[in-house]
């Protein structure tokens, strides 16, 4: 599979893992210490070929994603569920630990961040509360499963609302995913 855009990853192990089965170009951030030189390369890559941010599904990965997304408009995002990126033996989380199938699925479901000024009406606090995503037993797990279903990654309540807006998740799409969560309950 060939990827036209440049994929932004955290480190060389992520690059090696992706290049085992993809024809792709990457830019490595070197972790959360993004340099101005790396950010300039990302901006230039966005102008020329477009970028896909594909960071680890953990706090540092989210921090890197946020820093790049804020500085480089129009980013595309690939999200990998945390459960798919864990090396239990080493107790580590990262893109480099995911299966080929999980990585390909994440890249097939890439989403584009929409600038605030063109965002349409998306679900709000009331809908999140009614769906049991903000508080109460199982709210965190429901948010995790919803993030996976919508391919926007795990987020706390405040960040979930922001991502629903950022990725233009319609009320219909939200309600369908939330209903499926209820249907999948044991």
Query: In the predicted model, is pLDDT for residue 77 greater than 90?
Result: yes
pLDDT at 180 (0 to 100):
85
pLDDT at 127 (0 to 100):
86
In the numeric block, the tokens 């429901």 are attached to 142
Contact assessment for residue 91 and residue 137, using Cβ atoms and an 8 Å cutoff: no
Token representation of residue 148: 């996976």
* % of residues, the chain, pLDDT over 90: 58
Query: In the predicted model, is pLDDT for residue 81 greater than 80?
Result: yes
Instruction: Name every residue whose Cβ is closer than 8 Å to that of residue 169 and which is 6 or more positions away in sequence.
Output: 122, 123, 150, 152, 163
Q: Which tens digits make up the pLDDT trace of 130-184?
A: 888 998 888 999 999 999 999 999 999 889 998 998 888 988 899 899 888 777 7
pLDDT at 14 (0 to 100):
95
Token representation of residue 120: 């349409």
- CA gap 98, 139 in Å, rounded: 26
pLDDT class for 38, splitting at 50, 70, 90?
Answer: very high
pLDDT at 183 (0 to 100):
74
Q: In 10 A of CB 17, how many CB atoms?
A: 18
pLDDT class for 115, splitting at 50, 70, 90?
Answer: low
* % of residues, the chain, pLDDT over 70: 95
- CA gap 97, 56 in Å, rounded: 10
Which domains, and CATH codes, for the chain? Answer: 1-113 (3.40.1360.10), 118-186 (no CATH)
């Amino acid at each position: 599979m060939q990827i036209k855009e440049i994929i932004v990853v955290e480190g060389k192990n992520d690059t090696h893992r992706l290049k085992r089965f993809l024809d792709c170009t990457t830019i490595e951030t070197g972790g959360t210490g993004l340099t101005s030189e790396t950010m300039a390369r990302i901006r230039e890559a966005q102008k020329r070929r477009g970028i896909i941010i594909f960071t680890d599904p953990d706090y540092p990965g989210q921090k890197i994603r946020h820093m790049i997304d804020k500085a480089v408009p129009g980013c595309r995002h690939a999200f990998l569920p945390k459960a798919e990126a864990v090396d239990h033996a080493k107790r580590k989380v990262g893109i480099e630990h995911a299966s080929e199938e999980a990585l390909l699925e994440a890249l097939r479901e890439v989403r584009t961040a929409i600038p605030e000024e063109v965002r349409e009406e998306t679900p709000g606090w009331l809908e999140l509360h009614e769906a049991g995503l903000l508080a109460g037993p199982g709210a965190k797990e429901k948010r995790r499963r919803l993030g996976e279903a919508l391919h926007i990654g795990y987020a706390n309540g405040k960040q979930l609302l922001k991502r629903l807006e950022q990725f233009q998740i319609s009320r219909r799409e939200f309600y369908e995913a939330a209903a499926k969560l209820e249907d999948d309950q044991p």
